[in-house]
Amino acid sequence: MQDVKLKLQLRILLNQDIAFGPGKAELLEEIRRTGSISQAAKSMNMSYRRAWQLVETMNHSFQSGLVETQKGGTHGGGAKLTDLGESILSQFRQMEIKARDAIEQDFEEIAQHLKQ
């Protein structure tokens, strides 16, 4: 029997740019977990430069930033999600659940017609 899965990816576009999507959501979750853009990037096998670019895109796409950074020094730097960042991440994950739930039955009906 074939393995049939539904892969649903939501993206929020601002003009032509992806303001927010599953990759950025994962990056925010890793920043929350590690307290660091560098460590978040490392855990995602992403360059620090790319992670920083994604954070900058998110921070400039919303009315206020989603990630707050603290410069390094004696005690090291760090990063954390702002209240808006936490809210956007939570709302986005809820949107993913609602979208999946809304189409699950249709997917199952289509999956029945796939070759085994």
CATH number of the domain at 47, please: 1.10.10.10
| Residue located via tokens 């939501």 | 10
- 114 burial level (CB within 10 Å; 0-12, 13-18, 19+): exposed
Residue with tokens 């360059």: 47
Asked if the structure places residue 107 within a domain, the reply is: yes
Domain count, the chain: 1
Does the residue 3 lie in any domain? no
State if pTM tops 0.85: yes
The answer to whether residue 24 is domain-embedded is yes
- Residue pair 83/64 in contact (Cβ under 8 Å)? The answer is no
pLDDT digits (tens, 9 = 90+) for 81-96: 999 999 999 999 999 9
Structural domain boundaries enclosing 64: 12-111
- Residue 17 carries which DSSP code? E
Segment 46-75, tens digit of pLDDT: 999 999 999 999 999 999 999 999 887 666
* 80 occurs within a structural domain: yes
